[in-house]
Structure 1
Amino acid sequence: MNDELSLPATELVRRTLAHAKRLLPAALFHHSVRTYLYGRLLGEQRGLRPGRDYDDELLFLGCVLHDCGLSAEGDGDQRFELDGADLAVRFLEGEGVASDRAQVVWDAIALHMDREIAERKRPEIALVALGAGFDLGGGPERLPPGYTDRVHRVLPRLHAAAVLHDSIVRQALENPRKAPPFTMQGELVRQATGGSWPTWEHLARSAGWNDYEGYRP
């Protein structure tokens, strides 16, 4: 990569990059690296500079590991972002990363699906959500002319959004606990299967507290 598309030059970054490449299909691996490039650039547009305003290595770790919960190794009983956050911490602690630094990465991965919350956190967390969201849905931000073309030449898209969708749905169909009602994962499964959600009243009645007995709005 040229300087514009460079990655942090640390041994941990190199090992983590190899780890993510082993775990993920090429489409999701490329998406994860693009998440870093876009997140860093979007941060720069907000006046955030690596080394001054945030730890560039931590941002990279959060970005490149943020979808590893969709891998076979990361597939557990939680929503994929939580499984991925747990897997990332296990990997990083095995690499000797201090627990407080690993916790920042956990937060970045666990919160990347909820941009409004992530943006209230430290830059290493907020920029993961911003970068991932931009890579999948674009946004109002104006990037330098030709920048996305240069990124895509190095990291082709390979149908990233479609692969991500199918990976989420595939896991959830095999284990419904990964797609609770009213979550994004649950909604993707509902759309894929034509299912329906229980109503608020149904959920409240199933609790057994009788909150609707005798209630008149």
Structure 2
Amino acid sequence: MTDTYQELPFPRTELTGNAIRFARDIEEPAIFNHSMRTYLYGRFLGEQQGLRPDHDYDDELLFLGSVLHDAGLSGQGNGDQSFDLDGADLAAGFLTDQGLSPDRVEIVWDAVALHLHHDIAVRKRPEIALVSAGAGYDLSPAGSAPLPAGYANQVHAALPRLHTTAVLYDTIVGQALDKPHKAPPYTMTGELVRQRTQATWPTWEQLMTSPPSWHDYDGYRPSTGLPSHSTTREEH
């Protein structure tokens, strides 16, 4: 591991070193730095819960999930799924090629695939929960425990922010504008695209009645006291 990070508490194994090189080679520098900081902040948030590395969770797996969690935002990872699933598949393939056992690969896959779904991730094992928590903390620490004095400066000196949140937004939206199916309506990625394009999303009823459909709204009347979902449909 490069001396740039020697003062930071990264796990130092052959596999973590290989994962760093892999992520750094395929990702924008801002996204790579965000991924590295995700581990540091996830570990910090774990400490706030009394969780100890390599005692209460596998520190190497937490690092691997963190450093690879945005692999789907790389050119190599830009497939035909949402970027979190694309990244999970790319991470799993890389780690399998590195000889990591299937049970450990599965934990990293879950950490990457669930990192956008914090309410689910926090109910999983710490290696999964802390990736989601650390990624969120690096985007905005508001409402979370403050870092020790001077720690953020130390982290940012080694891993500059490089306009992280702006780069993430542009990368997510850029992928989705090129491949709209990666950002369907009512998803987080879909919402970012809607903000950029000002597109109008279909209503629930429009989605459910687009052909082919089961015609559930034909002749429907809401229960007493419930507002109608439609004021324009013709009666059947």
Identity percentage of aligned residues: 60
Q: Distance in 1 between matches of 2:21 and 2:64?
A: 12
Residue 188 of structure 2, aligned match among 180, 184, 190: 184
Alpha-carbon deviation of 1:138? 1.2
More helix by share: 1
Residue 198, structure 1, aligned to residue 202, structure 2: yes
**TM-score normalised by L of structure 2:** 0.90
RMSD across aligned C-alpha pairs, in angstroms?
0.9
1:111 aligns with 2:114: yes
Question: Of 211, 215, 222, which aligns to 1:210?
Answer: 215
Q: Which of 162, 166, 171 matches 1:167?
A: 171
2:83 to 75, 80, 99: 80
Shift of 1:149: 1.4
Structure 2 residue aligned with 1:93, among 84, 92, 96? 96
* Whole-angstrom distance in 2 between the partners of 1:215 and 1:119: 39
> When the two structures are superposed, what TM-score results if normalisation uses the length of structure 1?
0.98
Structure 1, unmatched stretches of 5+, are none
Task: Give the aligned residue type for 2:171.
Answer: S
Instruction: Give the C-alpha shift of residue 142 in structure 1.
Output: 1.9
1:2 Cα shift?
A: 4.5
CA offsets, 1:55-76, max 9 Å, x none?
A: 0000000000000101010011
CA distance in 1 between partners of 2:28 and 2:208 (Å): 41
Q: Which runs of 5+ in 2 are unaligned?
A: 223-236
- Over residues 133-173 of structure 1, what are the superposed CA-to-partner deviations in whole Å (9 max), with x where a residue is unaligned? 00001132122112111111111100000000000000000
> What is the alpha-carbon distance in structure 2 between the residues aligned to residue 53 and residue 133 of structure 1?
21
The aligned counterpart of 1:63 is 66
Q: Specify the alignment match of 1:154 in structure 2.
A: 158
1:52 to 52, 55, 58: 55
Larger radius of gyration: 2
Asked whether 1:143 is paired with 2:142, we answer no
Report how many aligned residue pairs link the two structures. Answer: 216
- Structure 2 counterpart SS, 1:50: coil
CA distance in 1, matches of 2:162, 2:207: 40
Q: Give the whole-Å Cα distance in 1 for the aligned partners of 2:148 and 2:98.
A: 36
Helix, strand or coil at the partner of 1:196: coil
